[in-house]
Structure formats: C-alpha cells, structure tokens
Amino acid sequence: MERSLVLIKPDAVERNLTGTLISRFEGLELKLVALRMLQPDKELARRHYAVHRDKPFFDRLIDYITSGPIVAMVFEGDNAVEVLRKAMGATDPAKAEAGTIRAEFGLDIERNTIHGSDSVETAKEEIKLYFA
C-alpha cells in the first residue's frame, strides 16, 4: 500500500471545486486517510517546494500557494502515486490528456488546480509537512 499527498490549490478552492475533486479521487479506488484545510505560510511553502528553489518561477510559486486556503489530503492504495498522477494529468493543463483533472480544471501552468507527490519517497516527506 502506497500513500500520496494531494493538495487542492488556491485557484480550485476559490472556484468551489473541492468536493468535485475529492469525489474524482475517491472514484479511483483509493482510500482517503487524512484531510485538512489550511492556508500555508511562506515557510511551509518554501519547504514544500524547496526542489524548485533555484528556478525562475520559485517566488511566483510561493506567492501563489500562500495566496489562499488549500486542502491537503493523503490517499492510500495500490500504486497510489501513479494512479493519482495519471488522474491529474500533465503539469501544464494545455498539455494534459483529455479527461484528466488539469485538462478539465487547470487554468494555466502556474494555476493548475492540484499538486500530487511525484514518487513514494517524495510523498513520505510531503505528508510529514502537512500531517503530524
């Protein structure tokens, strides 16, 4: 059994997509094992996105993810990371496969509605950031 972190980002919360997105994930035969709503501060955001620290979009990413409330969730199940990533689609909604969450709801590459862990190892670290 794998676990993966999913964040519903501020643009999706603002557009009242939280319930829709949770339902989509629950339809993937994964179990929702943790959920909380929070507004991340810049320190948490910098720790979460530390891998992007040296990239030109880092400051915009931090400003965006701290601009409003998010919903943090942990899903568990067989191949959870892969199943969730496939359902989310490519990071850039313009390149996401039809039927994926980002293709349907993403606004642009920076406001792409959702975050999901990219590996089991990353998931373990990300989950620790949001859940004790």
Closest CA to 8 of 23, 99, 59: 23
pTM: 0.95
Domain boundaries defined on the chain: 2-130
Mind listing the pLDDT tens digit for each residue in 102-111?
Answer: 999 999 998 9
CA distance 63 to 50: 14
The enclosing H or E element of 6 equals strand 2-8
Residue 75 near residue 35, CB atoms below 8 Å: no
The yes-or-no answer on residue 52 being catalytic is no
Residue 28 near residue 84, CB atoms below 8 Å: yes
Mind listing the pLDDT tens digit for each residue in 59-77?
Answer: 999 999 999 999 999 999 9
pLDDT, average across residues 34-63: 96
Which pLDDT score, from 0 to 100, does residue 47 have? 97
Q: Is the pLDDT of residue 15 over 90?
A: yes
Q: Indicate which residue of 72, 115, 123, 126 is catalytic.
A: 115
- Whole-Å CA distances, 59 to 33, 104, 113: 31, 26, 18
Query: 2-130 domain in CATH 3.40.50.12780?
Result: no
